[in-house]
Amino acid sequence: MEVCGSSIPAGKVGGDFFEFITQNEKAVFAAIGDVMGKGFRAAYLMETIRQQMLREMYQLLRPIEVVKRLNRIGGNELRRHGAFVTLFIICCDAETGCMKCVNAGHHPPILLTGGEVKVLKSRGVALGLLDDYVGSGEEEIYLSSGDALVMYTDGLVEACGPGDERYGLERLKKIVSIQQNFSAEKLRNCILADLEKFTFGYSQRDDITLVVVKAL
C-alpha cells in the first residue's frame, strides 16, 4: 500500500489533521479529521483529539471502537468549548485488502476502483455532539491492485473560485477518475494542482486537508 497526505491551514495554525499508523505487521490505520473553527483554539482541540485517537488506535483494532471511545473520552472537552470534530477512520488489512471504515460526521471519501469512482456510504454524527456515537457502523470495502481511496476535508470541496463558485465534489471525482495509473503521491499532487488552478487569485477561507491511500 501507498499512503500520503497534505494539510494546508488557512491561517498560521489549523484545526484539520491526518494520521497514518501501522498497528502491527498487517493492520494500517489512516484517519482524517476537522475541528469546528479555525485558529489557535481549533488547533488546541485538534491536537487534544489527535493524541487521544492515537492512544486508542494503538490499543484497538476495530475503528468503530476507536470512534466510540474517542467520543466518550473527548466529547466532554469538545462540548466545554462548544465545538465538535468530524472524523473518518479506516483500518486496512494489508494482506487481504479488506478496509473497515467509520464515519463521524465527515465528508465520505471517494473510492476509485475498476475504473469507476464511487462515494462511500458510511455516515455518522460528529464527535462531541452526542454522549454516545451514532452512525451506520463499519463499512467494509476491498481494495484491489490499483484501487485508491481519497479522503478530504470540507475546505477542499468548498474552496471558492471565479464567481464564488465552489470547487465541488463532482470536479474532485472527475480529477480522481482520470488518474488511475498514478501513484498515491502523484494523485494527491494532481488534485492540489487542479485546486490551485481553480482558486488562483482567491483567498483560502478554510483549512484544506487531503489523504490518498492506494493499493499496489
pLDDT tens, residue order, the chain (216 aa): 899 999 999 888 888 999 998 877 778 899 999 998 777 888 888 899 999 999 888 886 689 999 999 999 888 888 888 899 999 999 988 778 899 999 999 999 999 998 899 999 999 999 999 999 999 999 999 988 899 999 999 999 999 998 889 999 999 999 999 877 789 999 999 999 999 999 998 999 899 999 999 988
- Determine the pLDDT at residue 58: 83
Phi, psi of 133, deg, nearest 5: -65, 135
User: In total, how many domains does the chain have?
Assistant: 1
In angstroms, what is the C-alpha Rg of the chain? 16
Q: The domain that contains 158 carries what CATH number?
A: 3.60.40.10
pTM of the model: 0.93
Q: Report the candidate in 104, 197, 92 with the shortest Cα–Cα distance to residue 149.
A: 92
* Number of other CB atoms surrounding residue 116 within 10 Å: 9
Amino acid at 72: R
- Determine the pLDDT at residue 26: 77
- Determine the pLDDT at residue 61: 67
Residues paired with 176 in a beta bridge: none
The CA distance from 40 to 13, in Å, is 6
Give kind and range of the element (H or E) at residue 28: strand 27-35
Instruction: Provide the 8-state DSSP code for 182.
Output: S
Contact between 102 and 65 under an 8 Å Cβ cutoff? The reply is: no
Provide the grid cell at 154: 470540507
- Determine the pLDDT at residue 60: 66
Give kind and range of the element (H or E) at residue 136: none
Residues paired with 102 in a beta bridge: 89
**Strands, sheet with 27-35, edge to edge from the N-terminal-most edge strand:** 16-22, 27-35, 85-93, 98-104, 139-142
Which domain range does residue 109 map to?
2-214
- Determine the pLDDT at residue 42: 85
Q: Please, is 140 exposed, middle or buried when counting C-beta atoms within 10 Å of its C-beta (0-12, 13-18, 19+)? A: exposed
- Determine the pLDDT at residue 148: 94
